Chains A and B, each alone.
Chain A
Amino acid sequence: MTDAAGDLRVYAEYDRDFSEEVDAVIVGSGPCGAVVAKELTDAGKRVVLLEEGPPFTPSEYELDGALSMARTMREGGLRATRGTVMPTMQAIALGGGSLVNSAICNRAPDFVLDRWCTDFELEHTTLSDLDPHYDAVGEFLGIAPTPENVQGERNLSFKRGCDALGYSSEPCLRNVRGCRGSGECFTGCRMRAKQSMDISYIPAALRGGARVLTSVRVEEVRADGHRVLGVSGRVVAPFTGRPSHRFRVNARAVVLAAGCMATPVILQKSGNLANRSGQVGENLQFHPGVAIMGVFPDPVHPEFGATQGYQSRHFLRDGFKLETLWAPPAVLAVRMPGSGDAFKRRLAQIPCAAIWDAIASCPRSLGRVRARRRGLDPNLTWHLHRDDVLILAQALWTLAEIFFAAGARSIIPGVHGIPDELHSRSEAEILRTHSLKASDILTGGNHAFCTTRMHGDPSRGVVDENGKCHDYENLWIADTGIFPRCPSVNPMWTGMALAHRLAQTLAERL
């Protein structure tokens, strides 16, 4: 059917226990794992890529937000942190989060990477060090600015507001080819314009000869002395997770790319592996996000336009980044205040509404990942620091002033203790004068980092700057868990660039 030299297996094909022998096994088919698989395959290595979720095709995308999350997200999309309660998600699908994210690609700012190097004793992780890897990924995925003709009014009004206030803004760079503005990134791109891993890197890895096994859950990394031997686990049914056959993959190198919330759990369940530093599962950081809905006098037709087409990096040094946002209307409506007739009146305003969000850098807000007694889903604890609440409050105020500068007639901030609807810039001043607590603000955090952080000092980090574990010669980690600190911008491209570098280093050693 295809010219793929490799082999992809799905749940229906497993009928017995099995084992494999390869050069490298990669756990997790999200953006980082997929890059490693393709690059190692291109280097002529025998590779197996393992994914717990199934492959999705457009006929299986759910347009309904909740049902989509129930099918494509771990814990049905209802995962949340303890401490400061904040929803967070992790995909379970071939291609990982790239299937259901909005495809925003940003290089980490140079000042962020410089501080990574200074504070974490790294020598080769400046922007100029990573640029060749960003370029390689960018070229393969066609990363480019969102075209003007698919922005739609809800994105362009953001630009107008920023221009009026003198704040810089730009079209989001995205891994998208041929976007038509359907605004369906979060439920899966039916136009196949988004270059998610399942239609880009993974088919390329298959063409190069990789084996891709879906519906397999890695439960243990096996080790002996200072070397790991491979991984083992169970075949699991799609959606129910019901385990059946056992498998084992023996490999000369193991690359964990299961995501910042799952990789530490695998290590903890494998006898607290690679944790002489005591940092596995520690230092959990997020980019907590806040959003405001602005209501304009005329319809903005929010159903049309790139999901997240415009952004402003103007306030990165202040700790936040601004973006436009669209999602299934049901998901957006969830955060609107009120009930009864008043709630319905607000819902009726959605055709005239735009939603913009801010993601904040909160390196003081820390948490941890711990394995549960059963299963591989994590217990997450995280606390939003008081000082970081101030950053979020500043971000909310900035969004409010951009809305009014863009011509909004009201905004709905969704903050407890503040009126449900604010009708002018002066009314919105309350967002920066009112003393907010963490529990007053509705936050969501889907960028997560640092749970297996890189550090030049083996006693203070889990991996080196190439992603190799300090404690093992042939165990590598390639997901956002290795970031030493939050990157201040959307992390996918940085994670992929680091994975690209890891793959090159690993290929030389295999």
Chain B
Amino acid sequence: MGWIFFSVALGYAVARVVFGYREPESPLTRLTRGEAAFLAAAADATFPSGGALRSSGREARIPAYVDRLLIASHARSRRQMRLLFFLLEHATLFFPAPGLSGFRRFSSLTDEQRVAVLDGWASSRFWQRRLVFGSLRAILTLGYFAHPPVLRALGLAPFALRSPICEADLLYPRIGAHPSSILLTRADLTPPSDGTPISLGAPIDPRYAEDDS
């Protein structure tokens, strides 16, 4: 009898953890459906639509950014980030959000419940919980600011700058390339920066100037 109950409970737990997530809005390389759903939910709770900065977390494509970040990260960092997402997504199965339907995964909660859960982590008297929240919010914030319209709205997009060509450019190929790929010669060297201050109205870097709203 005991093992039947155990099997049913285990099956229920696995189902709650693994299944029931919708297809992500854009194709992702590293993130699972569950992770993408969690990040989208957390992103919108942290950056709701409208207000001082128009873009919401989801509109800022934070899950896609985290997907890129995971690709660029080292294996150990990747594991830590995924563990973080898993912990926060499922913590409410054990420590429920406020309200009758609080015993659900984070991504299945209502907007108000999600905000309440995150506030609980942020203001906890246990520094470990605050650390967990801080880590999540750091990742979400990095993703939010990687969205060019956000930086443009704040007037903080990087300037368009043309790098001088110096001796080092004749020595170092692009990462992964062979030195024979360096086509520059001494004749290509340009004068070093003359220290003229950048003017505040200078054009912004093309990567941030695109219409990407």
Contacts and interface: CB of A to CB of B under 8 A. Distances in A.
Interface of A: 1-4, 8, 10-13, 54-60, 63-67, 70-71, 75-76, 78, 85, 94, 147, 149-150, 177-182, 184, 190-193, 198-199, 202-203, 206, 238-239, 241, 299, 301-304, 328-331, 333-334, 337-341, 343-345, 347-348, 350-351, 377, 416, 439-440, 442
Contact of A329 (B145, B168, B196): B145
B193 A192 contact: yes
Interface of B: 45-48, 51-53, 68-69, 72-74, 76-77, 80, 115, 118-119, 122, 127, 130-131, 134, 137-139, 141-142, 144-146, 151, 154-159, 161, 163-164, 166-179, 182, 184-186, 192-198, 200, 205, 207-208
A2 B45 contact: no
Contacts of B177: 10, 12
Contacts of A54: 175-176
A238 B72 CA distance: 11
Contacts of B194: 178
Contacts of B80: 78
Given A60-B175, A192-B163, A304-B198, A177 B53 contact: no
B141 A330 contact: yes
B100 to A, nearest CB: 22
Nearest to A438: B127
Nearest to A238: B175
A130 B104 CA distance: 64
Contacts of A57: 168-169, 172, 174
Given A177-B193, A184-B158, A334 B168 contact: no
B51 A67 contact: no
Contacts of A345: 51-52
A340 B43 CA distance: 9
A193 B193 contact: yes
Nearest to A12: B178
B72 A339 contact: no
Nearest to A214: B172
Nearest to B195: A178
A180 B46 contact: no
Given A13-B178, A57-B172, A76-B73, A333 B141 contact: yes
Contact of A198 (B122, B164, B172): B172
Contacts of A301: 155, 200
A177, A301, A334 interface centre (most CB from chain B within 10 Å): A334
A179 B193 CA distance: 7
Contact of B138 (A60, A71, A198, A334): A334
A59, A303, A333 interface centre (most CB from chain B within 10 Å): A303
B55 to A, nearest CB: 9
Given A341-B51, A343-B47, A1 B178 contact: no
Nearest to A333: B141
B11 to A, nearest CB: 35
B46, B159, B172 interface centre (most CB from chain A within 10 Å): B172
A145 B179 CA distance: 37
A271 B41 CA distance: 50
B145 A330 contact: yes
9 contacts: A2-B170, A56-B172, A182-B158, A193-B192, A198-B168, A303-B157, A334-B134, A334-B142, A348-B154
A440 B185 CA distance: 55
B47 A344 contact: yes
A75 B173 contact: no
Contact of B52 (A60, A302, A303, A347): A347
Contacts of B200: 301, 303-304
A142 to B, nearest CB: 11
B115 A339 contact: yes
Given A334-B141, A347-B52, 17 more contacts: A10-B172, A10-B179, A11-B175, A55-B168, A57-B169, A58-B163, A59-B174, A66-B146, A75-B76, A180-B193, A182-B159, A199-B168, A303-B200, A330-B141, A334-B138, A341-B51, A350-B154
Nearest to A188: B163
A179 B194 CA distance: 8
Contacts of B146: 64, 66-67, 330
Contacts of A181: 197-198
A203 B167 contact: yes
Nearest to A68: B72
B167 A333 contact: no
Given A10-B173, A203-B168, A344 B48 contact: yes
Contacts of A59: 163, 174
Contacts of B193: 177-180, 191-193
Contacts of B185: 1
A54, A184, A329 interface centre (most CB from chain B within 10 Å): A329
Contacts of A377: 76
A330 B172 contact: no
A439 B129 CA distance: 11
B180 to A, nearest CB: 9
A351 B127 CA distance: 30
Contact of A340 (B45, B131, B184): B45
